[in-house]
Chain A
């Protein structure tokens, strides 16, 4: 009879060390939960993108066009010539590793190919092999490699595991914008029809109908009418928004997600209430009804096309300026790219608050102002009657949306607004907020359901910081100013930090806003009971009487 081994003998035979291989020798393995479904034929056709066909990511054959490698290399050559930044980003990285551990996807997954430096290297290796003397001669020794179908699949897998959040760029001593490397990689993939449907579908809808879901004008109006009824029920005030009204002073644009999906709807109700209270001369558009721009996650050309719609509509309606709602990447597009795409928007006027007279000179060229800037200015000038006590049941922390923080540099305004409408505000740790904010894990069009594992991994560093303030201060509400955050953070909190809910900042404003002619608020916009306010008030009156 064989000798029975002792447990420690068995354990000692198990090798927990993964095999050591160079990254180029580890072939890509496409795993469920980590990718979004491939772009549909119909979506690509609508956008007039090449190689529209039915295909599946898990199939061996991706139905690529003939000479696909030539198309990619020519596309790369064209972009190296066209974008000096791209050429520099390909050349100057010294692989110091400063960015390596700054990516939320790397921190959450532990996959080295999620290190920004290595993700960029996937593309850089092809650049070296085909566009540099050293790479051409030395090949692998010079850091170059041949463009094969496996490399292409690896690109697709990992460049759709980057949310273009730019956190890594903050730490790069050379200032390499890694998000722009991902953008170019995605442009190249799109030359072969290799987009994801979660981006291509909304972009196609936006191109045809003006918003991500393809809502028709009457549906948009119905959705907002429904919110108007809700507001009346909660506040007793009937607000009356207008649609496509020519000659209005301001065009208001916000992500369409806020029109129908909670908790965005409460933020949307907040806009309606705020503008009504101010008597703002503004209009909604049912044609340019999307603040988001999923073209930005596809190619610069498509981003420009979708951005053009917004400004064309402003021109058609004859408004003076554009007010933008709580959105993330909309603001990076406006702040960093719009002026090159379609600016300066000379037919509009520099945004000026009709209530306070403040001129938003930071938007001198784009003519588009952020709702948080607009609201902070109102509060600073004491133009709003606010009762922060109504938010006393909340212990709030603020998630800086990547695009607004790093793509626009806006840190203070939303904090100022929150602190003015909430009595309990707590910051997350310094290395997780402001310019170092962690992504929600679902940005740049990655907020689908099929890639939930990827999203949860990517969201771990953010959730980890929320968990800290939950444990430390009892935080129960995570505020944000981005529609993708409002969609992506609830499941993230549900998984990692149960007990923390998600809100837009304007929802907090609206709940604190004392409106002219309002009835006694017995609930907040979510329909949650507010009777505890009365109890606390009577308690404090009793205490005062006792003291007297």
Chain B
């Protein structure tokens, strides 16, 4: 069984664990809400994160190109860029996938290297997006000032 097969088989448990790890970085009351409310419009943060990490996970299994991850990461990071996270905190959600995987499946070291490289790449892209978002917020402030 290849690593991708193992990941696909454990998709749900890994994603759910990954989701919980991300959401637990919010205060307890908030985390409880984000985890429990399933309606997309009543819980935009939770829904965007859940949908986003599902797509990222799928993308990793299907070995999608880096560019294909961009819009998915963009949706999540746009939110984190307005939520008082430092750059490292904002992108930390990507690394939590490693923890979720380690907890849920047993992987050989050689296989782990490949998947970790992918995760690290996604984190780098995330950082770029985060900086673009912050730049855009500054631009919006300047534009407002001109009015």
Contacts and interface: CB of A to CB of B under 8 A. Distances in A.
A449 B140 CA distance: 8
B137 A453 contact: yes
Given A112-B29, A449-B144, A460-B44, A431 B39 contact: yes
A452 B143 CA distance: 11
A101 B147 contact: no
B145 A460 contact: no
A456 B47 CA distance: 17
B102 A449 contact: no
A431 B133 CA distance: 28
B128 interface: no
Interface in B9-52: 21, 24-30, 33-34, 37, 39-45, 47-48
Contact of A452 (B44, B102, B137): B137
Contact of B95 (A11, A20, A461): A11
B102 to A, nearest CB: 4
B82 A468 contact: no
**Which 5 A-B pairs rank lowest in CB-CB distance, beginning with the nearest?**
A449-B144, A464-B44, A110-B30, A8-B102, A491-B140
Interface string A37-64: 0000000000000000000000000000
B2 to A, nearest CB: 21
B24 A17 contact: yes
B16 to A, nearest CB: 16
B29 to A, nearest CB: 5
A453 B78 CA distance: 11
Contacts of A460: 44-45, 79, 82
Given A7-B116, A17-B24, A452-B140, A110 B78 contact: no
Contact of A461 (B25, B41, B136): B41
13 contacts: A7-B116, A16-B24, A101-B42, A108-B79, A110-B26, A431-B39, A453-B82, A460-B44, A460-B45, A464-B40, A468-B40, A494-B140, A495-B140
B121 interface: no
Interface string B98-115: 110010000000000000
Contacts of B39: 431
B90 to A, nearest CB: 13
A465 B44 CA distance: 9
Nearest to A496: B78
B98 A108 contact: no
Contacts of A261: 147
Given A110-B83, A452-B137, A452-B140, A8 B98 contact: yes
B45 A110 contact: yes
A541 B81 CA distance: 52
Interface residues of A, number: 42
Give chain A's interface secondary structure class.
helix
A301 interface: no
A108 B24 contact: no
Contacts of A100: 29, 33
A429 B41 contact: yes
B142 to A, nearest CB: 8
Contacts of B37: 101
Given A8-B98, A16-B96, A101-B33, A108 B82 contact: yes
Contact of A112 (B30, B41, B84): B30
A122 to B, nearest CB: 15
A448 B43 CA distance: 26
Given A20-B28, A110-B34, A429-B41, A12 B136 contact: no
B136 to A, nearest CB: 6
B12 to A, nearest CB: 21
Given A31-B84, A108-B83, A468-B41, 4 more contacts: A110-B30, A449-B145, A465-B41, A491-B144
A108 B82 CA distance: 9
A12 B99 contact: yes
Interface in A433-458: 448-450, 452-453, 456-457
Interface in A99-122: 100-101, 106-112, 115
A111 B44 CA distance: 14
A244 interface: no
Most buried by B among A18, A465, A468: A18
Given A7-B116, A18-B25, A101 B45 contact: no
Given A101-B43, A431-B39, A452 B144 contact: yes
Interface string B110-147: 00000010000000000000000100110011111101
A8 B21 CA distance: 14
Nearest to B22: A16
A107 B39 CA distance: 12
Most buried by A among B43, B136, B140: B140
A365 interface: no
Query: A460, A461, A464: which has the most chain B beta carbons within 10 Å?
Result: A464
Contacts of A33: 137
Contacts of B21: 16
Contacts of B43: 101, 107
Given A110-B45, A465-B41, A457 B83 contact: yes
A432 interface: yes
Given A101-B33, A112-B30, A495 B136 contact: yes
A500 to B, nearest CB: 15
Contacts of B144: 448-449, 452, 491
Q: Of B39, B92, B116, B136, which is in contact with the most chain A CB atoms at under 10 Å from its CB?
A: B136
A215 to B, nearest CB: 14
A461 B57 CA distance: 25
B141 A449 contact: yes
B34 to A, nearest CB: 7
Given A7-B98, A16-B21, A496-B78, A456 B137 contact: yes
A468 B102 CA distance: 35
Nearest to A8: B102
A413 B137 CA distance: 35
